[in-house]
Amino acid sequence: MKFVNKTTIKLDKEINELDKLVFRFIGILKKYTDYVVISGYVAILLGRSRTTEDVDIFIKDIGKHTFKEFYQELQREGFWCLNSEDSNEIYNYLADGLAARFAVEGATIPNFEVKVAKKPLDKESFNDRIVALTNIGGIYISSVERQIAFKRYYLKSEKDIEDAKHIEQLFNKNIDIQKINKYKNMLTK
């Protein structure tokens, strides 16, 4: 695993079933809106050995018609929404700043917790996201500094602290401490 440049990481990990599912879901999502994968799955993608029940994703605002097309494709590809089966209702969840959860038909976990980035700090995650390249493609993830600050200073659970430590150990020479402190200050206000 190495930084190719400031916005790209090349991963040499062995791809597992969760990774394949994430890339499958993202392959559909990116046709309809911009996204950034955040939180726990980022640490897992970066080699942390643990499980997760959900994959958290911020998306940019999406129109109702575009969302309906996205949801129809998800259904055709074998996904369902845990919140509702009605696309208008699901869209309203997103428009109200709530998360919509999608999973493979017949399952509830792992699921994709999709939320429109509405808060300034959430929207900003699109500006410093990075690409994680694997042998099955690339996906946008939040910056390592944002991940560390969010996990260490906002979520603070034992699992989250361990995620932050894992990322710090991986990228210790490539981490911008000033950025982490900036996010820490924004998160703890």
Residue 70 tokens, joined:
């996205």
Q: What percent of the chain has pLDDT over 70?
A: 100
pLDDT score recorded for residue 188: 81
Q: How many whole angstroms separate alpha carbon 62 and alpha carbon 49?
A: 34
Residue ranges in 5-119 assigned as alpha helix (H): 17-29, 40-45, 64-76, 87-95
pLDDT score recorded for residue 189: 74
Residue ranges in the chain assigned as alpha helix (H): 17-29, 40-45, 64-76, 87-95, 120-124, 144-149, 158-170, 177-187
pLDDT score recorded for residue 2: 86
CATH fold of 2-187: Beta Polymerase; domain 2 (3.30.460)
pLDDT score recorded for residue 20: 97
pTM: 0.95
pLDDT score recorded for residue 186: 87
Positions in the chain short of pLDDT 70: none
